[in-house]
Amino acid sequence: MHIHKINPNSQEHRSFLSQNRKDPITGDSILEGDEVVFCADCKSVFLRDTWEYLGNQHCEQSGTLVDFPFNFTNLTIQKTDLILFYEQLPLEGQKKGSKIPSRLDPTIWKYKEGELASYEYDFYLTPIFYAVIAFGFVMGIIGCILLESFFPISGSVIFSILLTLIAAQEENTQAKKLKTAHKYFYDNVFYISKTGIGFSRRYGRQEYILSIAYIHSLEFQFSYSFFASNYCIIEDINGNKTKFLITNYLEENKTTQFLEALHSMNQEAICSIKIQIEDNALLCNILENEIQQNGYAISILRK
């Protein structure tokens, strides 16, 4: 293992510090005097304690960079590479938006803002756009009243449309379209990553992340009875439990991806993972066989 101590007197280290880099597992900022390790494969940087916690390996290998790298363009694990599985949280009752659990322990759930969104907003989904439409329509009506004999209703409609398009085009030159690391992050999402469990609010603007190091157990409960709900229970190392509704990940050919994601996150078997299935003995048998064949540290419970 090759360890590098961040020295502010070094030009390369100063350049590195100016990027405000963070440990991809803990989210802690890397500061002057910290000891870091660079993965030889993906070139990601880890605090020494994190690297040792990972068993002195990453990317299924244990090599580390001997020399402090000069090129930092590939030193960050991209969010698109980290997230292994994600699904929109289901609607609850008549509510129009899916809901992220509100009680998340702030001492261990890391909060990030704008991590998944690469731009600020999409003008055509903002209140500004609707205000421009209303303005164009009102101006069209006024024009119709003032010039009734020369400007019929059809002309008013055309005028409104043209005015709206002109104003929209002008505004949109100043706007930035919202893009996220995942094209389906339109609503609140629950996801599994290589580093833990996460929630992303609408359009990836905000994230709540619980590192695998702080997860004591995960329990997914899937039911095939008509009125039952599917949900997940996360228990952290402090004994706090977070329960939330989920969709059925064992449908629509998502089973394999779901199991692989859990396995990739928990390769060191740090936490206990259980999947409880109600009213589907055949599916239990299939999952048990798949888990046994792949050596996954996941338990299937029948109910």
Q: What is the pLDDT of residues 145-167, one digit of tens each?
A: 666 555 555 565 666 666 666 65
> By C-alpha distance, which of 195, 196, 201, 194 is closest to 180?
201
| Residue 221, pLDDT above cutoff 90 | yes
User: Could you tell me the pTM of the whole model?
Assistant: 0.59
Q: CA-to-CA distance for 167 and 33, rounded, in angstroms? A: 53
- The whole-number pLDDT of residue 100 equals 84
Number of domains in the chain: 3
The pLDDT mean for the chain works out to 78
Same domain membership, residue 132 and residue 97: no
Q: Which domain holds residue 136?
A: 123-172
Position 282 in a domain: yes
94 with 228, same domain: the answer is yes
Closest CA to 24 of 12, 37, 40, 13: 37
Instruction: State residue 158's pLDDT score.
Output: 66
Mark whether 224 and 298 lie in a shared domain. yes
Do 218 and 98 lie in one domain? The reply is yes
In a domain, residue 34? The reply is: yes
Say if 47 falls within a structural domain: yes
Are residues 91 and 138 located together in one domain of the fold?
Answer: no
Instruction: Please name the residue that has the structure tokens 């740090």.
Output: 270
Q: Is the pLDDT of residue 67 over 50?
A: yes
Cα distance between residue 91 and residue 104, in whole Å: 20
Give strand pairing partners of 110: 209
Widest CA span of the chain, in angstroms?
85
Mean pLDDT of 106-131: 68
- What are the two backbone dihedrals, phi and then psi, of residue 166, each rounded to the nearest 5 degrees? -65, -50
Kindly report the number of other CB atoms within 10 A of residue 210's CB atom: 21
| pLDDT given for residue 210 in this prediction | 93
91 and 236 inside one domain:
yes
> Are 98 and 226 contained in the same domain?
yes
The span from the CA of 253 to the CA of 165, in Å, is 43
Confidence of residue 276 (pLDDT cuts 50, 70, 90): very high
pLDDT tens digits for range 180-206? 667 677 778 899 988 899 998 877 778
Q: Where are the alpha helices (DSSP H) in 25-115?
A: 48-53, 79-82
Domain co-membership, 224 together with 97 = yes
Q: Does residue 93 belong to any structural domain of this protein?
A: yes
